[in-house]
Amino acid sequence: MLEQTVLADGEECRFCLSKPGRRNMIWGKYGFAAWDRHPASPGHFLVVPYRHFSDYFDITDEEREELWQLVAAGKKMADAEYHPDGYNIGINVGLWAGQSIPHLHIHVIPRYKGDVENPKGGVRGVIPHNKLYEFKPD
């Protein structure tokens, strides 16, 4: 399913290779979910299409539908094993948005009560000075 893709710098795409040690969770027709090798929090996983492309906006309808189904199925697995209190879901599109691997992948990052002092703003934190606004926890 995965074909090897050589990047501009001569390196092979890490998602196009089936690497030893990859902890796959789920396989689909268009992509797979795997536990992140460098998790931001316990239960962090990635959803990755088999087809090599970098920009989320180049996805096909069929790929998009299945990848989001893999997000939902992976969340059930993370819930069962890690019992998080919330999630951040993100996709970096382009170098200036923080994309360091030019192969589309969706981060699903479990969050836990108390993992940061003030979680208000969530994904808005990608631009730190625009993140915070009044936080009123339950």
Reported pTM:
0.86
- Does 52 reside within a domain? yes
Instruction: Tell me if 122 is assigned to some domain.
Output: no
- Contact between 57 and 118 (Cβ < 8 Å): no
In a domain, 129, yes or no: no
Which residues have a Cβ under 8 Å from the Cβ of 88 and sit 6 or more positions away? 107, 109, 111, 122, 123
Active site residues: 105
Chain segment 76-127, per-residue pLDDT in tens: 999 999 999 999 999 999 999 999 999 999 999 999 999 998 888 888 888 8
Longest dimension (CA), the chain: 51
CATH number of the domain within which 89 lies: 3.30.428.10
Name which of 106, 109, 103 is nearest 47 in CA terms. Answer: 106
Q: Is 51 within a domain? A: yes
Domain membership of residue 36 (yes or no) is: yes
Domain span holding position 53: 23-114
